[in-house]
Structure 1
Amino acid sequence: MEFPSPKSTKMPFEYKKVLMLGATSGIGWALAAKMVENGVSVIAVGRRQEKLDEFAKQYGSGKATVDTAAFDITKLKEIPGFAKEIFSKHPDLDCVFLNSGLQRHLDWTKPENVDLDTMEQEMLTNYTSYMHLTKAFLPYLQKQAPKPTSLVFTTSGLALVPIIYCPNYCASKAALHHMILAMRQQMKQIDSNVKIIEVYPPAVQTELHDDKHQPEFQGKGRSLGMPLDEFTEEAWAGLSADDNEQVPVQAVKTFMGFNGWEKERQGTMMKMMEMMKKSH
């Protein structure tokens, strides 16, 4: 099992064209911009066409090509057609970056106020849609073998350590984290050309916490967490390292346990895999 270490070797990001979902704001926008600045072509995807147009205008004359596609990942039945359309236009696409997400407050002490529709939408956006996107895009990436390709997932430090403010968000990220761990090992067992990468942000100052999404913060949400530019620099360094399968950022590495008990937990997973191999 490979884990990031302080001695990771800095290398150029190995993929040349990235489909960035959730590119209209926050982490997605910042990382997509960073990629273009480093000569990586980007296809920016999001629901808001005006924000996609803004991204293309700002970065379209940079060091790499920029294309955009308006799409709502919660429209599950449209995902296969979307994947086909993207690869028809961009057959050289070698990295799909799944970054969209939403976070909502949930308080079980007042069950009469629990909105199950909101919970389902959160799980749909953060987990179920990712499974549909993975199923749709993975065959296209596999067909490019032996060319290296990748699926990159943005999860969260809250996949490792839940907080009581947004337990359903934490659960959705934990589910995705477990799926990624298993998926990565499945790909390794067949020596796949598709690398499975997970980025673990801590709290980051983005519109995820804005009042329009989470009024409980009462105007203080945007100040929560690390500055977006600092996150982007550290995440990009991790993605450009030689051991980039797992990219924990800032507090996730230490306070939230990645460099401690999470390594031990993943080590136990590997032991269980070996035990199961011997029993079959």
Structure 2
Amino acid sequence: MTFPRARPLAFITGASSGIGQALAARYVQAGWRVALVARRADQMREWATQQGWPADHWSVHGADVRDEAQVLAAASECLRIHGLPDVVIANAGISVGVDLSLAEDLPVLRDLLETHVMGVASTFQPFIAPMRERGSGTLVGVASVAAMRGLPGHAGYCGAKAAVVHVCETLRGELKPFGVKVVTIAPGYIDTPLTQGNDYPMPFLMTPEAFAHRAFKAISAGVRFRVIPWPMGIVAAVLRFMPRWLFDAVVGAQKHRKKRRR
């Protein structure tokens, strides 16, 4: 199949559900081509077909972002059939609680770090040099408001998302002289399979579609860092600058909830 290279291209990981799926739909709506990457390739292909999109506007690439070889193969296939993307969105993620007093949770911590940190690095790596040579392109790391501070029961998730923020910040400084933008998006509570089992209040909960619309605008504008929705940006700022003694007192008073497995 011949793909219309005159249309811009977005390469999106974690595209089989939730935020990734909504982002894919928003980009196609805007007239872009999309290269969709996820472990559940058949499910992703079935969903994309059901959308009625033109067949030459999308492709599916099965890959687990924890496996560098799979991600590099998906990127190579994308480059071969589509060409170099204009936007690369490292979105794949999992949400799992971690109790570091349990030896059996150490592999869980490793899984979180490999998914979020190595997954972002593996997603970006194949496109950095070509974008730098071209002198344009945007790399997007999907972090979280949870990156702002360490929350009880979430050492892995908070730590991994904080690493995503700093990886993106580092790349932003390295790539700016070459015309390549790096955008960090930090979602608050989005109504996806990752949050639907939460048994605690989720302020400012928004739909994936509303999130995708705001993220699309932020990415198009080339913002450095954006919390979505904006009220959670205020929460994030408060968390970030709260004195440690006060933060410790607040989180120490909270009941530690049972870990959720995904």
Counterpart-to-counterpart distance in 1, 2:53 and 2:73: 29
1:9 is aligned to none
In structure 1, the partner of 2:217 is 237
Fraction of identical pairs, as percent: 23
Unaligned runs of 5+ residues in structure 1 are: 1-14, 212-216, 263-280
Distance (whole Å) between structure 2 residues aligned to residue 203 and residue 21 of structure 1: 19
Q: Helix, strand or coil: the match of 2:178?
A: coil
Give aligned pairs, total.
235
Partner of residue 88, structure 1? 80
> 2:8 — aligned with what?
16
Name the CA distance, whole Å, in 1 between partners of 2:212 and 2:76: 30
Q: 1:31 and 2:12 equivalent?
A: no
Distance 2:160 2:154 in 1: 10
* 1:137-187 Cα distance to aligned partner (Å, 9 max, x none): 2123223x13x2111110111111332131210000101111211210111
Shift of 1:28: 0.4
Aligned match for 1:209, one of 181, 192, 195? 195
Deviations 1:93-117 (A, max 9, x none): 2221110001111234xx2365111
Deviations 1:70-104 (A, max 9, x none): 11111123333332222111114222111000111
State yes or no: 1:257 paired with 2:237.
yes
Distance in 1, matches of 2:31 and 2:238, equals: 31
4+ residue runs of structure 1 moved beyond 4 angstroms?
Answer: 220-224, 258-262
Aligned residue for 1:124? 114
SS in 2 for 1:254: helix
Read off the aligned partner of 1:198 and give its amino acid letter.
Answer: T
Matched, 1:54 2:46: yes
Closer/same/farther in 2, CA of residues 112 and 261 from structure 1, 3 Å limit: closer
Matching residue within 122, 133, 154 for 2:142:
154
**1:192 aligns to what?**
178
Q: How far did residue 64 of structure 1 move? A: 7.6
> Contact 1:79–1:136 at 8 Å: present in 2 too?
no
Asked if the contact 2:149/2:239 (under 8 Å) is kept, the reply is no
Distance 1:225 1:130, change over 3 A: same
Q: Do structure 1's residue 40 and structure 2's residue 19 form an aligned pair?
A: no
CA contact (8 A) 1:201 1:248 kept: yes
Question: Does the 8 Å CA contact 1:46/1:69 hold for their aligned counterparts?
Answer: yes
Q: Counterpart of 1:244 in structure 2: which amino acid?
A: V
Give the conservation status (yes or no) of the 8 Å contact 1:59–1:66: no
Which of 48, 61, 72 aligns to 2:64? It is 72
TM-score of the superposed pair, with normalisation by structure 1: 0.74
SS in structure 2 of the partner of residue 96 of structure 1: strand
Q: 1:64 to 1:238 in 2, by over 3 A?
A: farther
Whichever residue aligns with residue 22 of structure 2, its letter is A
TM-score (norm 2): 0.79
Distance in structure 2 (CA, Å) of the matches to 1:239 and 1:126 = 20
